[in-house]
Structure 1
Amino acid sequence: MRDSGTAMKRAVQGRTLTTRRKIAEGAIKVLASHGVPGLTHRAVAHAGGVSLAATTYHFATKQDILAETSRTLMEGYLDAFRRLRQRLLANEETAIRSLDDLVARVVATALGRERTRSLAWCELMLHGGRHDEGRAMARRWYSELDAIWAGIAEAFPGPSPLRAAAAIDITVGFTVLLHPLMLDQETVFDLLCGRVGIDQLPGIKALAETSVPRAPSPEALRPRQLETRQRLIEATIDMLVAEGAAAVSHASIAERAGMVRSGPSYYFPTIGSLLEAAQTTMFERAKARYRAGIEAVAVADMDRDRLVDLTTTIFFREVLEFARENVGYYSVWMSAVQDAELRGAVSSALLDQQNAWRRRLVVCAAVAGSPLQLQALFVGKLIRGIVSQLDTTDLSHSREDFAVAVGKSIAGSGE
């Protein structure tokens, strides 16, 4: 009888674990396609292939589902990296021999085979940057990853100028920057290895020149209408910061802006056009901040050390003073994966950023290599900072990390 009871208990526990795993996998699919605002018990139940009753039984609240989903993703990632370290130590892994190799492999996987899980991870990270509990979760993520990647780095032959934590930041930056471009794996590897630049991708310039429909155009509006249009954009930015791109609708923005329900659609006929306008506004603000920082040093006085100092200073300011707006900005960026209307704006922003980094590097080295890794490091460190609140140790390594990336970009020019 005791054996029968034990077997029955184990069977129940097994069914429970299977159901919870299905729910977490369903949540991953919903997060990847609809973001946190689209995460409901009903949507998760449908995506996970379980009953609504099972979902509400195991997870009383949406936050409970998010916590379980985060745990599932984190355990999966950490286990994969632990196994990689064991293979390296046993000389069973020959394709990855450096942190650069590891970055390329992880990014290609994130943008390819593991796209859905990667998108869910990005959504969770950005959502976490909006509240204390999420930031605590992100700190745990990064702490675990930093420790495991440091252990992996020790298994590589010879020292690396790149810190393991910086390699993680580059990986995150690449993943976020490249997700909306929907690239195939071969193209991703070409980009990461510097064999091709963003501006050389087929169709990227044409895509960057496209724009979502606007009716009426800003030029056709009277001053009072321009004020109303700007109020709608600011309300959208507030919503992006507070909840994310998936929460933006004509109705929600009308309420936030204090307008009638039909008001936003006159200025922005689609949600894509509204998000694009908000993204462009945030990008122009960021560009103005970056430009002000760079112009603090005359072109004739710019050299590698000053570029590293300025990059570090700009990074500190973005993390410490503009963290909330950056959460909103990258929420729009990631939503371009699902919303084709936004890809033109994202492509344009990406090219603009590339050109800006290249101009800075050329001043220091006459001819510069691809600035993509430097750009990825900046974005990855920025996301780490805005979602987990960097501590003194993290900040103290920032200049060192940027110095390595700047040096690699200049070395890529053949200097």
Structure 2
Amino acid sequence: MSEPASNSPEPRRRDPEGRRRAILTAAAEIVIEHGPAALTHRAIAARAGVSLGSTTQYFSSIDELRDTTLQQLADEIDDSLTQLESNLTDFAEHPERAIAEIHDFLCDTRAVHADVALMSTGTTDPGMRALAQRWTDRLIDMLSAHVGRERATAIAVYLDGATIHAALHDAPLDRDHLERVVVALMATPDP
């Protein structure tokens, strides 16, 4: 009589890429829930359902694992910017579509906490600063074509603050508020 298949999250032994993905997924969940400082080999292995040795088999150090995890989270955030970009074609005249997309991002607790983890890491680890700045810098570049660099910078910095607000309050600012502030920033006079 054969035993029933296990529902364990541990990937099969002959699936090294699956095990590596499970480790990264577990690390990302820990970063999102508790921040990058909470990453330990033991916590990741327990969350991923893999042996402790697996975490060092695929990543030479906890720093490499942390950096790879943050890179993965930054790539996910970049995907949200790509979606936003299509809503910027007439941003200066009709910002509401882009604001709706931004509000959706701010409603995504996982994305918000990932972004805040990147920001906080970038403030304490100079090696991760460029990765942490990538979202804001890309948003400024995207908006500059529509509202100029000064206004684009003000909007992006405001949205960084709105992201932190969403993380601290477990909810974003309401969409109307976001739109009023962004429209007001767009109307600021040229320096």
* TM class by smaller structure: 0.7 to 0.9
Instruction: Work out whether 1:347 is the aligned partner of 2:127.
Output: no
Residues 27 and 69 of structure 2 are in contact (CA less than 8 Å); yes or no, is this contact kept in structure 1?
A: yes
Deviation string, structure 1 residues 311-358 (Cα, Å, up to 9, x no partner):
4112211122x21342143224313444x3xx3333134145313322
Q: Matches of residues 33-182 of structure 1 in structure 2 within 5 Å?
A: none
Q: Which residue of 2 aligns with 1:334?
A: 120
Aligned to 1:371, the other structure's residue is in SS state: helix
Instruction: Work out whether 1:360 is the aligned partner of 2:140.
Output: no
Question: RCO greater where, 1 or 2, for CA within 8 Å and sep 6 or more?
Answer: 1
Q: Which residue of 1 aligns with 2:158?
A: 377
Residues 315 and 382 of structure 1 are in contact (CA less than 8 Å); yes or no, is this contact kept in structure 2?
A: no
Instruction: Work out whether 1:283 is the aligned partner of 2:103.
Output: no
The alpha-carbon deviation at position 256 of structure 1 amounts to 0.9
What amino acid is the match of 1:411?
A: D
Q: Which residue of 2 aligns with 1:396?
A: 176
Q: Which residue of 1 aligns with 2:61?
A: 270
Residues 245 and 275 of structure 1 are in contact (CA less than 8 Å); yes or no, is this contact kept in structure 2?
A: yes
1: CA distance, partners of 2:128 / 2:172: 33
2: CA distance, partners of 1:250 / 1:265: 8
Deviation string, structure 1 residues 358-377 (Cα, Å, up to 9, x no partner):
23321x25x53373332121
The alpha-carbon deviation at position 252 of structure 1 amounts to 0.9
- The structure whose Rg is larger is 1
Deviation string, structure 1 residues 293-316 (Cα, Å, up to 9, x no partner):
32146x4xx24133x324411221
> Structure 2-normalised TM-score?
0.77
Gaps of 5+ in 1: 1-222
Deviation string, structure 1 residues 54-113 (Cα, Å, up to 9, x no partner):
xxxxxxxxxxxxxxxxxxxxxxxxxxxxxxxxxxxxxxxxxxxxxxxxxxxxxxxxxxxx
Q: Which residue of 2 aligns with 1:210?
A: none
Identical counterparts, % of pairs: 12
1:283–1:407: structure 2 CA closer, same or farther, 3 Å change rule? farther
1:257 pairs, out of 48, 52, 57, with: 48
Gaps of 5+ in 2: 1-13
Residues 236 and 248 of structure 1 are in contact (CA less than 8 Å); yes or no, is this contact kept in structure 2?
A: yes
Aligned length: 178
2: CA distance, partners of 1:296 / 1:376: 19
> Structure 1-normalised TM-score?
0.39
1: CA distance, partners of 2:44 / 2:172: 35
Residues 311 and 402 of structure 1 are in contact (CA less than 8 Å); yes or no, is this contact kept in structure 2?
A: no
Deviation string, structure 1 residues 271-311 (Cα, Å, up to 9, x no partner):
222222222212211221221132146x4xx24133x3244
1:244–1:276: structure 2 CA closer, same or farther, 3 Å change rule? same
1: CA distance, partners of 2:135 / 2:33: 27
